A = this chain, B = another copy of it.
Amino acid sequence: MKIITIASLKGGVGKTTIAAFLGQAIRKRKKILVCDIDPNNNLTDFFLRDVDIKELQSRNIYHGLTGRKELSDCIFKTGFDIDCVPATPELAMVGSELMNDFGSVIRFESDLKSLKYDLILIDTPPSLTYELQASIYVSDLILCPISYNRWTVHGYQLLENQVLKQKKAGKKIKLLGVPSMVTAKKSEALSDVDEIPLTKTHILKSEALENAIILGTALKESSNAWIQFDSLAKEVI
Protein backbone atom coordinates (compact mmCIF):
# COMPACT_ATOMS: atom_id res chain seq x y z
CA MET A 1 0.00 0.00 0.00
CA LYS A 2 1.13 3.53 -0.78
CA ILE A 3 0.15 6.62 1.20
CA ILE A 4 0.22 9.97 -0.61
CA THR A 5 -0.36 13.25 1.24
CA ILE A 6 -1.24 16.57 -0.38
CA ALA A 7 0.38 19.28 1.73
CA SER A 8 1.28 22.94 1.52
CA LEU A 9 1.86 25.67 4.07
CA LYS A 10 0.19 28.14 1.70
CA GLY A 11 -3.60 28.05 1.57
CA GLY A 12 -5.54 28.45 -1.66
CA VAL A 13 -3.03 26.59 -3.83
CA GLY A 14 -5.40 23.80 -4.81
CA LYS A 15 -4.74 21.05 -2.26
CA THR A 16 -8.34 19.89 -2.06
CA THR A 17 -8.83 20.22 -5.82
CA ILE A 18 -5.84 17.96 -6.40
CA ALA A 19 -6.97 15.48 -3.75
CA ALA A 20 -10.49 15.30 -5.25
CA PHE A 21 -9.55 14.84 -8.91
CA LEU A 22 -6.24 13.01 -8.51
CA GLY A 23 -8.23 10.62 -6.33
CA GLN A 24 -10.71 10.06 -9.14
CA ALA A 25 -7.94 9.52 -11.70
CA ILE A 26 -6.17 7.05 -9.42
CA ARG A 27 -9.47 5.18 -8.94
CA LYS A 28 -9.31 4.20 -12.62
CA ARG A 29 -6.27 2.11 -11.72
CA LYS A 30 -6.20 1.35 -7.99
CA LYS A 31 -8.50 0.76 -5.04
CA ILE A 32 -8.23 4.04 -3.22
CA LEU A 33 -9.33 5.62 0.06
CA VAL A 34 -9.33 9.40 0.44
CA CYS A 35 -8.83 10.72 3.93
CA ASP A 36 -9.71 14.28 4.96
CA ILE A 37 -7.51 15.39 7.84
CA ASP A 38 -8.20 19.13 7.49
CA PRO A 39 -10.64 20.68 10.01
CA ASN A 40 -11.76 22.89 7.12
CA ASN A 41 -13.17 19.67 5.63
CA ASN A 42 -13.49 20.82 2.03
CA LEU A 43 -12.65 17.34 0.72
CA THR A 44 -15.47 15.96 2.86
CA ASP A 45 -17.78 18.58 1.37
CA PHE A 46 -16.75 17.47 -2.10
CA PHE A 47 -17.17 13.72 -1.65
CA LEU A 48 -19.90 13.56 0.98
CA ARG A 49 -21.99 16.69 0.50
CA ASP A 50 -25.26 14.81 0.74
CA VAL A 51 -24.43 13.13 4.02
CA ASP A 52 -26.05 14.63 7.11
CA ILE A 53 -23.74 16.65 9.39
CA LYS A 54 -24.78 14.56 12.42
CA GLU A 55 -23.80 11.37 10.59
CA LEU A 56 -20.40 12.90 9.72
CA GLN A 57 -19.97 14.00 13.32
CA SER A 58 -20.64 10.51 14.62
CA ARG A 59 -17.68 8.88 12.87
CA ASN A 60 -14.79 10.67 11.22
CA ILE A 61 -11.02 11.05 11.25
CA TYR A 62 -11.09 12.62 14.73
CA HIS A 63 -12.55 9.42 16.19
CA GLY A 64 -10.00 7.35 14.29
CA LEU A 65 -7.02 9.43 15.45
CA THR A 66 -8.05 9.54 19.09
CA GLY A 67 -8.92 5.84 19.14
CA ARG A 68 -12.54 6.53 20.12
CA LYS A 69 -13.56 4.42 17.11
CA GLU A 70 -11.78 2.01 14.81
CA LEU A 71 -10.52 3.90 11.75
CA SER A 72 -12.21 1.28 9.57
CA ASP A 73 -15.57 2.21 11.14
CA CYS A 74 -15.07 5.84 10.03
CA ILE A 75 -15.10 5.02 6.30
CA PHE A 76 -18.00 6.26 4.14
CA LYS A 77 -18.91 5.16 0.62
CA THR A 78 -19.11 8.08 -1.85
CA GLY A 79 -20.91 8.47 -5.16
CA PHE A 80 -17.54 8.38 -6.95
CA ASP A 81 -16.71 4.69 -6.31
CA ILE A 82 -14.13 5.98 -3.85
CA ASP A 83 -14.25 5.49 -0.10
CA CYS A 84 -13.68 8.46 2.18
CA VAL A 85 -12.81 9.12 5.83
CA PRO A 86 -14.39 12.54 6.48
CA ALA A 87 -13.37 15.38 8.78
CA THR A 88 -15.47 17.88 10.71
CA PRO A 89 -14.36 21.20 12.25
CA GLU A 90 -14.00 19.48 15.67
CA LEU A 91 -10.79 17.97 14.29
CA ALA A 92 -9.15 21.31 15.16
CA MET A 93 -9.09 20.13 18.79
CA VAL A 94 -7.11 16.97 18.09
CA GLY A 95 -3.71 18.66 18.42
CA SER A 96 -4.22 19.80 21.99
CA GLU A 97 -5.55 16.34 22.84
CA LEU A 98 -2.84 14.20 21.23
CA MET A 99 0.14 16.55 21.23
CA ASN A 100 1.98 14.62 23.94
CA ASP A 101 0.65 11.19 23.03
CA PHE A 102 3.69 10.17 21.02
CA GLY A 103 2.24 6.78 20.15
CA SER A 104 -0.82 8.30 18.49
CA VAL A 105 0.90 8.86 15.14
CA ILE A 106 2.36 5.35 15.12
CA ARG A 107 -1.11 3.94 15.85
CA PHE A 108 -2.49 6.09 13.00
CA GLU A 109 0.07 4.64 10.61
CA SER A 110 -0.63 1.04 11.55
CA ASP A 111 -4.40 1.65 11.44
CA LEU A 112 -4.09 3.08 7.92
CA LYS A 113 -1.86 0.22 6.75
CA SER A 114 -4.28 -2.40 8.03
CA LEU A 115 -7.01 -1.08 5.69
CA LYS A 116 -7.65 -2.96 2.47
CA TYR A 117 -6.73 -0.36 -0.16
CA ASP A 118 -3.95 -0.08 -2.73
CA LEU A 119 -3.52 3.61 -2.07
CA ILE A 120 -4.58 6.17 0.53
CA LEU A 121 -4.68 9.85 -0.42
CA ILE A 122 -4.70 12.40 2.42
CA ASP A 123 -5.73 16.07 2.31
CA THR A 124 -4.24 18.31 5.03
CA PRO A 125 -4.59 21.80 6.56
CA PRO A 126 -2.25 24.60 5.42
CA SER A 127 -0.57 25.02 8.78
CA LEU A 128 1.92 23.11 10.90
CA THR A 129 -0.69 21.41 13.03
CA TYR A 130 -0.71 17.94 14.57
CA GLU A 131 -2.88 16.86 11.62
CA LEU A 132 -0.27 17.88 9.05
CA GLN A 133 2.65 16.46 11.03
CA ALA A 134 0.86 13.14 11.47
CA SER A 135 0.12 12.99 7.74
CA ILE A 136 3.75 13.66 6.86
CA TYR A 137 4.84 10.90 9.24
CA VAL A 138 2.64 8.23 7.66
CA SER A 139 3.38 9.14 4.01
CA ASP A 140 5.44 7.53 1.31
CA LEU A 141 5.02 10.53 -0.98
CA ILE A 142 4.07 14.13 -0.29
CA LEU A 143 2.78 16.29 -3.12
CA CYS A 144 3.08 20.02 -2.49
CA PRO A 145 0.97 22.17 -4.85
CA ILE A 146 3.10 25.06 -5.98
CA SER A 147 1.62 28.23 -7.38
CA TYR A 148 3.58 31.12 -8.77
CA ASN A 149 3.98 33.36 -5.75
CA ARG A 150 7.04 34.97 -4.23
CA TRP A 151 6.61 32.88 -1.05
CA THR A 152 6.46 29.58 -2.98
CA VAL A 153 10.04 28.41 -2.51
CA HIS A 154 9.97 29.57 1.07
CA GLY A 155 6.80 27.64 1.98
CA TYR A 156 8.17 24.55 0.26
CA GLN A 157 11.38 24.73 2.27
CA LEU A 158 9.47 24.88 5.56
CA LEU A 159 7.60 21.74 4.55
CA GLU A 160 10.86 20.13 3.46
CA ASN A 161 12.32 20.82 6.92
CA GLN A 162 9.46 18.88 8.49
CA VAL A 163 10.01 15.99 6.09
CA LEU A 164 13.75 16.00 6.90
CA LYS A 165 12.95 15.63 10.60
CA GLN A 166 10.98 12.45 9.87
CA LYS A 167 13.71 11.20 7.56
CA LYS A 168 16.17 11.49 10.45
CA ALA A 169 13.77 9.26 12.36
CA GLY A 170 14.26 6.65 9.64
CA LYS A 171 11.17 7.36 7.53
CA LYS A 172 11.47 7.16 3.75
CA ILE A 173 9.38 10.04 2.46
CA LYS A 174 9.57 11.59 -0.99
CA LEU A 175 8.53 15.22 -1.46
CA LEU A 176 7.54 16.60 -4.86
CA GLY A 177 6.11 19.96 -5.95
CA VAL A 178 3.10 20.00 -8.27
CA PRO A 179 2.74 23.25 -10.24
CA SER A 180 -0.89 23.96 -9.53
CA MET A 181 -3.60 26.42 -10.51
CA VAL A 182 -1.12 28.28 -12.67
CA THR A 183 -1.61 29.79 -16.11
CA ALA A 184 0.28 28.17 -18.97
CA LYS A 185 2.78 31.04 -18.95
CA LYS A 186 3.47 30.88 -15.23
CA SER A 187 3.66 27.12 -15.43
CA GLU A 188 6.62 27.58 -17.75
CA ALA A 189 8.29 30.02 -15.36
CA LEU A 190 7.92 27.50 -12.54
CA SER A 191 10.04 24.99 -14.43
CA ASP A 192 12.97 27.29 -13.66
CA VAL A 193 12.57 27.11 -9.89
CA ASP A 194 15.41 24.65 -9.52
CA GLU A 195 15.28 24.49 -5.72
CA ILE A 196 12.12 22.36 -6.00
CA PRO A 197 11.79 18.91 -7.63
CA LEU A 198 8.55 19.12 -9.61
CA THR A 199 6.21 16.60 -11.17
CA LYS A 200 6.24 16.58 -14.97
CA THR A 201 2.50 17.22 -14.91
CA HIS A 202 1.35 20.78 -14.26
CA ILE A 203 -2.25 21.46 -13.22
CA LEU A 204 -3.37 24.55 -15.09
CA LYS A 205 -5.94 27.02 -13.80
CA SER A 206 -9.27 26.41 -15.50
CA GLU A 207 -12.86 27.40 -15.03
CA ALA A 208 -14.05 23.81 -15.59
CA LEU A 209 -11.90 22.77 -12.66
CA GLU A 210 -13.12 25.56 -10.39
CA ASN A 211 -16.74 24.80 -11.21
CA ALA A 212 -16.36 21.05 -10.68
CA ILE A 213 -14.86 21.55 -7.22
CA ILE A 214 -17.61 24.02 -6.24
CA LEU A 215 -20.40 21.84 -7.60
CA GLY A 216 -18.96 18.56 -6.34
CA THR A 217 -19.08 16.96 -9.79
CA ALA A 218 -16.66 14.82 -11.80
CA LEU A 219 -14.63 16.23 -14.68
CA LYS A 220 -15.46 15.27 -18.24
CA GLU A 221 -12.90 12.65 -19.21
CA SER A 222 -12.25 14.44 -22.47
CA SER A 223 -11.41 17.72 -20.71
CA ASN A 224 -7.90 19.12 -20.45
CA ALA A 225 -8.19 19.21 -16.68
CA TRP A 226 -9.00 15.49 -16.54
CA ILE A 227 -6.11 14.66 -18.85
CA GLN A 228 -3.77 16.52 -16.48
CA PHE A 229 -5.00 14.63 -13.42
CA ASP A 230 -4.82 11.35 -15.31
CA SER A 231 -1.23 12.11 -16.21
CA LEU A 232 -0.45 13.09 -12.61
CA ALA A 233 -2.00 9.83 -11.42
CA LYS A 234 0.25 7.83 -13.74
CA GLU A 235 3.25 9.74 -12.44
CA VAL A 236 2.64 9.22 -8.73
CA ILE A 237 1.06 5.79 -8.21
Contacts and interface: CB of A to CB of B under 8 A. Distances in A.
Contact of A92 (B40, B95, B128): B128
A11 B11 contact: yes
A99 B125 CA distance: 19
A1 interface: no
A143 B120 CA distance: 38
A147 B41 CA distance: 15
Contact of A90 (B41, B89, B127, B158): B158
B127 A10 contact: no
Interface stretch (A19-27, A148-156, A224-232): A148-156
A154 B92 contact: no
Interface in A123-168: 125-129, 150-151, 154-155, 158
A14 interface: no
A53 to B, nearest CB: 6
A39 interface: yes
A11 B158 contact: no
Contacts of A41: 151
A51 to B, nearest CB: 11
Q: How many subunits of this chain does the assembly comprise?
A: 2
Contacts of A39: 9, 127-128
Nearest to A133: B96
A193 interface: no
Contact of A127 (B12, B53, B92, B151): B92
A89 B9 contact: yes
Given A10-B89, A127-B127, 8 more contacts: A9-B40, A40-B126, A45-B151, A89-B158, A90-B158, A92-B128, A92-B158, A95-B128
10 contacts: A9-B40, A10-B40, A10-B89, A12-B12, A39-B127, A53-B151, A88-B154, A92-B127, A93-B128, A125-B127
Interface of A: 9-12, 39-41, 45, 53, 88-90, 92-93, 95-96, 99, 125-129, 150-151, 154-155, 158
